[in-house]
């Protein structure tokens, strides 16, 4: 079976930064598990090397800044590419509101364009919602990373539950391998992407002001965002790209891991941090309770006091309680398997292709 995979970035759609790494890892595992299923990736120019293993076809100059600008394009180039390459099943971002020349399997790690009231005010998501609802009859399945997203698709788009396959992301066992850190503790690790950048810009200076007597520094990792500040401050260290083993060491030596994405439907960064062995601070929203269990400290995303109280709690937590929290997090993260995720996706392709 030939599966065509269209990346979020190739279409100029909103992404948090989790989508690219999730998609690449998923394709690696699917390729290892089932060689009879082949993939071709349709990607943005800057992603060509990343997806080089799957004969990438670059979609150049086809991605406007914002998906609402795609309305009116009746035949985008990537649609004709799918037909030319005789793709049997297309795996496309959920937010791509177009009919396809083959069965469609959509994927979603978050729906913040429709959940965030600030985004909804822009008007684009409303128009996109109508277009997506029209495209749903041709969509054979939707792959999501949590039951939370499954329920939200039903509520927001009236997608039948039986059409939605839940495949939580896995974690890499290498995250548990012992590895030192190159930054002097104690420090707080913050994960910055398009979904969390705005919150971090507001909160990092306030966190430092409150806890500079406890922390040596604040470390910001993750892919970042277009509106990220060029300089976070003298006490903030920016680590944008870091290999897996070094990332595990960086996380593990941290006092706490903080990812303030209130509409997170996949929780990939937080689950990775739990597997690495660091306490996690998470907003009690999105899929956090479902995917992270009781291991993190949860705060109310509408309350700065709740955030500060829980930060102080984790900073002052006794060693025995911290060890218990870390072990609970690791157990929960170990239960999330990339093989299990990939088999769920492969079976979805088979059903759709038939």
In this predicted model, what pLDDT tens digit does every residue of 76-122 receive, in sequence order? 667 888 889 999 999 999 988 777 888 999 999 999 888 877 665 55
For the entire predicted model, the pTM comes to 0.92
Question: 49 by DSSP, 3-state: which?
Answer: coil
Residue ranges of alpha helices (H) inside the chain are 18-33, 77-84, 112-115, 117-120, 124-135, 147-157, 197-211, 244-252, 268-276, 288-292, 304-315, 319-334, 338-353
pLDDT of residue 168: 97
Per-residue pLDDT at 203 exceeds 90: yes
Distance (Å, rounded) from C-alpha 260 to C-alpha 189?
12
- pLDDT category at 68 given cuts 50, 70, 90 is very low
- What do you get for the CA distance between the two ends of the chain, in Å? 10
Range of weakest confidence among 41-45, 132-136, 151-155, 274-278:
132-136
pLDDT in tens, 296-312: 999 999 999 999 999 99
What average pLDDT score do residues 279-295 get? 97
CB 313 within 8 Å of CB 275: no
pLDDT of residue 119: 63
**Residues 118, 196 share a domain:** no
**Residues 191, 164 share a domain:** no
CB 85 within 8 Å of CB 102: no
- pLDDT category at 124 given cuts 50, 70, 90 is low
Average of per-residue pLDDT values in the chain: 90
- pLDDT category at 67 given cuts 50, 70, 90 is very low
**Residues 219, 185 share a domain:** yes
Per-residue pLDDT at 74 exceeds 70: no
**Residues 136, 194 share a domain:** no
Please state, for a pLDDT cut of 70, what percent of the chain lies above it: 92
**Residues 201, 244 share a domain:** yes
**Residues 42, 166 share a domain:** yes
**Residues 77, 129 share a domain:** yes
Higher per-residue pLDDT: 116 or 72? 116
Ordered DSSP codes for 131-151:
HHHHHGGGEEEEEES-HHHHH
Higher per-residue pLDDT: 66 or 17? 17
**Residues 34, 134 share a domain:** yes
For the chain, give percent helix, strand, coil, nearest 5.
Answer: 45, 15, 40
Per-residue pLDDT at 186 exceeds 60: yes
**Residues 208, 249 share a domain:** yes
Per-residue pLDDT at 70 exceeds 70: no
CATH number of the domain to which 347 belongs:
3.40.50.2000
pLDDT in tens, 316-342: 999 999 999 999 999 999 999 999 999
Distance (Å, rounded) from C-alpha 81 to C-alpha 5?
11
Give the DSSP letter of residue 264.
B
Per-residue pLDDT at 64 exceeds 60: no
Give the DSSP letter of residue 110.
B
pLDDT of residue 66: 47
Give the DSSP letter of residue 256.
E
pLDDT of residue 302: 94
**233 CA to centre of own chain:** 27
pLDDT of residue 141: 95
**Residues 265, 140 share a domain:** no
The domain in which residue 188 lies consists of: 173-334
Distance (Å, rounded) from C-alpha 338 to C-alpha 171?
7
**Residues 213, 123 share a domain:** no
**Residues 320, 212 share a domain:** yes
Higher per-residue pLDDT: 240 or 11? 240
Which residues lie closer than 8 Å to 234 by C-beta, 6 or more apart? Answer: none
Q: How many domains does the chain have?
A: 2
What average pLDDT score do residues 141-160 get? 95
Q: Which helix (H) or strand (E) holds 220?
A: strand 217-221
């Amino acid at each position: 079976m030939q599966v065509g995979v269209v990346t979020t970035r190739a279409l100029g759609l909103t992404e948090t930064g989790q989508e690219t790494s999730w998609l690449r890892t998923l394709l690696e595992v699917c390729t290892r598990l089932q060689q009879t299923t082949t993939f071709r990736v349709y990607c943005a120019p800057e992603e060509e090397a990343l997806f080089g293993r799957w004969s990438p076809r670059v979609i150049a100059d086809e991605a406007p800044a914002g998906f609402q600008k795609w309305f009116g394009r009746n035949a985008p180039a990537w649609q004709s590419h799918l037909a030319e390459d005789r793709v049997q099943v297309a795996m496309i971002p959920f937010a791509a509101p177009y009919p396809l020349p083959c069965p469609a399997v959509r994927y979603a790690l978050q729906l913040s364009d429709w959940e965030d009231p600030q985004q909804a005010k822009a008007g684009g998501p409303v128009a996109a919602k109508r277009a997506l609802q029209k495209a749903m009859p041709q969509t054979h399945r939707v792959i999501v990373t949590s039951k939370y997203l499954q329920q939200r698709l039903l509520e927001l788009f009236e997608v039948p539950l039986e059409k939605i396959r839940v495949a939580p992301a896995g974690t890499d066992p290498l995250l548990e391998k012992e590895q030192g850190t190159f930054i002097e503790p104690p420090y707080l690790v913050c994960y910055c992407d398009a979904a969390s950048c705005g919150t971090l810009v507001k909160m990092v200076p306030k966190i430092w002001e409150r806890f500079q007597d406890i922390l040596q520094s604040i470390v910001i990792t993750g892919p970042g965002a277009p509106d990220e500040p060029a300089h976070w401050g003298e006490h903030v260290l920016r680590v944008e790209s870091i290999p897996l083993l070094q990332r595990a060491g960086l996380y593990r030596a941290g006092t706490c891991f903080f990812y303030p994405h209130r509409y997170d439907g996949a929780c990939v960064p937080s689950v990775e941090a739990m597997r690495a062995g660091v306490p996690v601070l998470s907003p009690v929203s999105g899929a956090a309770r479902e995917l992270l269990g009781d291991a993190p400290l949860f705060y109310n995303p509408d309350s700065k006091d709740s955030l500060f109280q829980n930060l102080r709690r984790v900073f002052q937590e006794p060693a025995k309680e911290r060890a218990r929290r870390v072990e609970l997090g690791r157990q929960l993260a170990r239960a999330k398997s990339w093989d299990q995720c990939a088999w769920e996706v492969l079976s979805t392709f088979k059903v759709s292709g038939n």
